[in-house]
Chains A and B, each alone.
Chain A
Amino acid sequence: MDIATQQKIADALAARTGAQSARVLECRLLTGGAIQQNWLFDLDFTGGSHAGRLNTVLRTNSASVLDVSLSRAQEFSLFQIAWEAGIKVPEPLWFLDSGTAMERPLFVMRRLVGTAAGHRLVRALPQGSPSLARDLGAELARIHSVRPPVVALGFLLEPGAAPALDEVRALRAALDAIRAPQPVVEWGIRWLEINAPGTETIVLCHNDYRTGNYMVDGEILTGILDWEFAAWGDPMQDIGWFTARCWRFGSDARVAGGIGALGDFMTGYVDVSGQSPDLANLRYWQVMATLRWAVIALAQGERHLSGTEPSLELALTRQIVPELEHDILTLTQEVPHARSA
């Protein structure tokens, strides 16, 4: 981000807060995700409601935006709802629409203490952390306590009667956009279709609740990040995503995100919610999670292959699909069967 753009943003924020001026102390790219960019953006306000130093994160779109994710304005609304519901999220501060200071829309939130990097976190906790696993379960239950309808979340699609089958349709549509046929992924989606469970309770699902998307300071959970896929859905969808092997960062024995035991995670969940979703469907939702990640990884590979966004990271993400296919075949085995050939 050039210095002129940085100062334009600072000026716009000074105007919002009634400050005489705002100076940019530091600005650098923290993570340039496939969909969003997060910038460290530290300011010094002279006067106004936030006088003095303010450490923030500025979130804006990457060059290419997936149409499945929420807009920055919608994500900002979600942060506000979550913040008001007492969920641990970075405090949302200001939203600037496109054209205000940048061509792209952006919002600014207070910067949290801690680290989010999944591999680093799992490595730093070689024995796992039962307390962190419990806190993560509790936080997810708080998110799931938000139930439709919520007027401010009117932009979220109305929940369908069968969320699992809605997901199956969405996965197939995404798979059909991949140029090379994918028999194992197709096999997994068919399994999801014929085994789809019903959903009793519709809740606010984060839809990317996993290790790597929350901030931790030591073993203390400081905030949940990356809300751009949030939607109404089955609470088990988040639990399946959090516990799927592909999000354990190599610590496969610790089912709860590579951090702890499923029991600790669910204890935290039930402490807040008062009841546990039906874990009999856990395997189903782990298969769903694995397929969702496989289809996203294939789509990232397509972005590289299309030539519009040549990227080693995107190309290598495509290379993890065989691992996910291995998980799909393992999880969808009804009973161990004798090799037939």
Chain B
Amino acid sequence: MRDQPDGADLLHIARAEFLREVQPILPEDLKYKALMIANAMAIAQRQFHGSSEMSAIEVRQITALLTDTPDDVHATLCQKIREGIFDPGSDNHCQMLDVLTSITLSRLAESNPKFLEKHADTLPNGAIPT
């Protein structure tokens, strides 16, 4: 196990000090750029938590709906969607929609949790993942 503070801690404190002490004194034309930098750091920070676990869950969910277990689960899934295997009326249409929704909610939790809070009730299984 790594010594503390680790990468996640360093990123957290670096972002906090950057926003508190550096961003406010920047000239106007650099302030937006500074917010972009802080946003990128926030996304990276969130990705430190549980990203490998998330993709394992995702692969398991997708594999459960495919008839075989291919090497590249995502590519095979895309091919089957393109072929219409999961079109409305097909056996696994609703289950696939649930899986895709769950993937999207997980990604949003990392990329933009505020968006997720604002729009949480509009998806079929609109629960915010914990």
**With contact pairs A312-B40, A322-B112, A326-B119 given, residues A183 and B77 touching in the complex (Cβ less than 8 Å):** yes
* CB atoms of B94 and A337 under 8 A apart: yes
Q: A325-B104, A340-B95 are in contact. Are A315 and B111 (CB under 8 A)?
A: no
Are B124 and A337 closer than 8 Å at their CB atoms? Answer: yes
Q: How far is the CB of B9 from chain A (nearest CB, A)?
A: 23
Contact A323 B84 (CB under 8 A): no
Which residues from 84 to 130 on chain B have a C-beta closer than 8 Å to any C-beta of chain A?
84, 86-88, 94-98, 100-101, 103-105, 107-108, 110-112, 115-116, 119, 122-125
Q: Which of A172, A194, A326 has the most CB of B within 10 A?
A: A326
- Check B72 for interface membership: any CB of A closer than 8 A: yes
B124–A336 touching, CB < 8 Å: yes
* B103 x A184 contact (CB < 8 A): yes
> How far in angstroms is the closest Cβ of chain A from B71?
12
List residues of chain A with CB within 8 A of the CB of B108: 322-323, 326
- For the residues of B in contact with A, the DSSP-based class is helix
Q: Evaluate contact between B82 and A319: CB separation under 8 angstroms.
A: no
- B81, CB-defined interface residue at 8 Å: yes
* 1/0 contact string of A160-202 vs chain B (CB within 8 Å): 0000000000001000000011111011011000100000000
Q: Closest A-chain residue to B118, C-beta based?
A: A252
Residue B36 at the A interface, CB < 8 A? yes
Q: Which residues of A contact B96 (CB under 8 A)?
A: 187
Quote the shortest CB–CB distance from A188 to chain B (angstroms): 10
Interface residues in B9-34 (C-beta closer than 8 Å to A)? 33
Kindly state the separation between the CA atoms of A183 and B82 in the bound complex, as whole angstroms. Answer: 9
Chain B hits for A313, CB < 8 A = 36
Q: Would you call A125 an interface residue if the criterion is a C-beta within 8 Å of the partner chain's C-beta atoms?
A: no
Asked whether A190 lies within 8 Å of B111 as measured between CB atoms, the reply is no
At the interface, yes or no: A330 with Cβ under 8 Å from chain B?
Answer: yes
The answer to whether A333 touches B124, judged by C-beta atoms less than 8 angstroms apart, is: yes
Give complex CA distance A242, B62 in Å.
35
Bound-state CA distance A139–B64 (Å) is 51
Contacts A326-B104, A337-B94 known; A312 to B37 CB distance under 8 Å? yes
Which B residues lie within 8 Å of A180 (CB)?
74
Residue among A181, A183, A337 facing the most chain B CB atoms (10 A cut-off): A183
Given contacts A319-B112, A325-B107, A329-B104, contact A186 B78 (CB under 8 A): yes
**A220 located at the interface, meaning its Cβ lies under 8 Å from any Cβ of chain B in the complex:** no
Which A residues between 305 and 341 are near B, CB-CB below 8 angstroms? 312-313, 315-316, 319-323, 325-326, 329-330, 333-334, 336-341
The answer to whether B104 touches A184 (Cβ under 8 A) is yes
* Size of the chain A interface, CB-CB below 8 angstroms: 32
Q: Mark B53-93, 1 if CB is under 8 A from A, else 0.
A: 00000000010000000001011011001101011100000
Q: Which of A189, A194, A316, A337 contacts B97 (CB 8 A)?
A: A337
Q: Is B39 close to A, CB under 8 A?
A: yes
- Residues from chain A with Cβ under 8 Å of B95 in the complex: 340-341
User: What are the residues of chain B within 8 A of A172 when measuring CB–CB?
Assistant: 82
Q: Which A residues touch B40, using CB under 8 A? A: 312, 315-316
A264 nearest CB across to chain B (Å): 24
The chain A residue sitting closest to B127, CB to CB, is A339
Q: Are B124 and A181 in contact (CB under 8 A)?
A: no
Given A181-B72, A316-B40, A334-B88, decide whether A186 and B81 contact each other with a Cβ distance below 8 A: yes
Least CB distance from A40 to B in Å reads: 14
Given the known interface contacts A330-B123, A334-B88, the answer about A341 and B107 at a Cβ–Cβ threshold of 8 Å is no
> Which chain A residues have a beta carbon within 8 Å of chain B's beta carbons?
172, 180-184, 186-187, 189-190, 194, 312-313, 315-316, 319-323, 325-326, 329-330, 333-334, 336-341
Given A321-B111, A338-B94, 17 new contacts (CB under 8 A): A183-B62, A187-B96, A194-B84, A312-B37, A316-B40, A319-B43, A325-B100, A325-B104, A326-B116, A326-B119, A329-B124, A330-B123, A334-B88, A337-B94, A337-B97, A339-B98, A339-B124
Interchain residue pairs A-B with the least CB separation, the first 5: A322-B107, A181-B74, A340-B94, A186-B78, A181-B78
A sample of 26 inter-chain contacts (CB < 8 A) reads A184-B103, A186-B77, A186-B82, A190-B82, A190-B84, A194-B87, A312-B36, A316-B36, A316-B40, A319-B43, A319-B112, A322-B108, A322-B110, A322-B111, A325-B100, A326-B105, A326-B108, A326-B115, A326-B116, A329-B101, A329-B104, A333-B97, A336-B124, A337-B97, A339-B125, A341-B95
